[in-house]
Structure 1
């Protein structure tokens, strides 16, 4: 049995701030005030600074000289770049999984499909995507490439931020995502790495398009409110 890792104080602070960015409580362009956070959490500014460096590695914020930490922009161009990069990583991961899985890992994949199907039934998109992306993040042994896994882990918070925009979409769209994941896992279990890769790429494009549609609607609403406020 492995030893469970305990997050450091800075990692805990980073997770708390990161969750506020992911859920939209902190919006793009907003300045993150070190002193206010330190007072609210009763921690040192040094711990907050370390937390911000962690968040910068996950691309949720940018740290500028003399300006401090700013919540990163979420534009259509950045969403496309994020999904393009993640697609490359996930394609490599499922290819390796197709080649390397053993029986207990096959059982875990089938169990994952059961849990995903449950989330489709209750239309819980957040848990659905958290389960799937979190499962892939745990496949260090199968993938066998620490650089790929590290980059994937660093992109996950930004991925969560993007698919958080899709939580109000229909069950049909969630069902389509499930079917593409199922096809990919079926191909993995038949050791058909090329098919698994093609299906996971289709899944990434499907989710990317949903995120872009939701982002466009959100930007339209923000623009409408800005115009009304200027009247």
Structure 2
């Protein structure tokens, strides 16, 4: 993985480290040494520190006073907590979308959903491309809803959610038909302005995703007697 100095240095450092965290190059719980990162990338420790604060906002690192930063834990319990909060943010987005979308928004929303659905059936399936397409749908919805606080909250969850998909890619790869059905039913509910039905679809899908994550993250843990 090659590092290239960006216009916004701290942000690019954050993106570089986020990729390493999401792919497991930096393992959950692993300490992140500011001095080592700064030396490896030939940047200042101040820039690394600023990047780590961004990663903390993205829920990828924990920063403890006098101990420094470490990659957030990724186990079944933490993943479930992550999805619970993310699910409720998505429900809020869907409800506001049902209330606020106008006819002029229809084409853009449907185009984003079509692109996501197309990526679902790519051969071979690319899980990270599917995840990015899902985020593109979310971003299109955020543009319609125009709630900057909700948009920021959802944006900050993207890296952590991407990490769970990456760690559980094999299980998600076998479940893409269900994802396609979710997009279809959610679209139908939103266009009908049926907020209750939209919420139901999000809850069902999120609970199913949590089950997949739990299975993936506990498959190598021996049962206790």
TM-score (normalised: structure 2): 0.88
1:58-117 Cα shifts (integer Å, max 9, x gaps): 111111222211111112111111111011100010111112112342112222232222
Decide which moves more: 47-56 or 157-166. 157-166
What RMSD, in angstroms, separates the aligned Cα atoms of the two structures? 2.0
User: Secondary structure of the residue that 1:168 maps to in structure 2?
Assistant: helix
User: Secondary structure of the residue that 1:27 maps to in structure 2?
Assistant: coil
Count of equivalent residues: 216
Whether the aligned pair in 2 keeps the contact of 1:60 and 1:71 (CA below 8 Å) is yes
TM-score (normalised: structure 1): 0.86
1:51 equivalent in structure 2: 51
Decide which moves more: 30-39 or 163-172. 163-172
Cα displacement (A) at 1:181: 1.7
Structure 1 residues 13, 73: CA separation in 2 closer, same or farther (over 3 Å shift)?
same
Structure 1 gap ranges (5+) = 1-5, 224-231
User: Secondary structure of the residue that 2:171 maps to in structure 1?
Assistant: coil
Whether the aligned pair in 1 keeps the contact of 2:109 and 2:140 (CA below 8 Å) is no
Asked if residue 192 in structure 1 is aligned to residue 201 in structure 2, the reply is: no
Whether the aligned pair in 2 keeps the contact of 1:120 and 1:171 (CA below 8 Å) is no
1:143 equivalent in structure 2: 145
Cα displacement (A) at 1:7: 6.5
Structure 1 residues 133, 50: CA separation in 2 closer, same or farther (over 3 Å shift)?
same
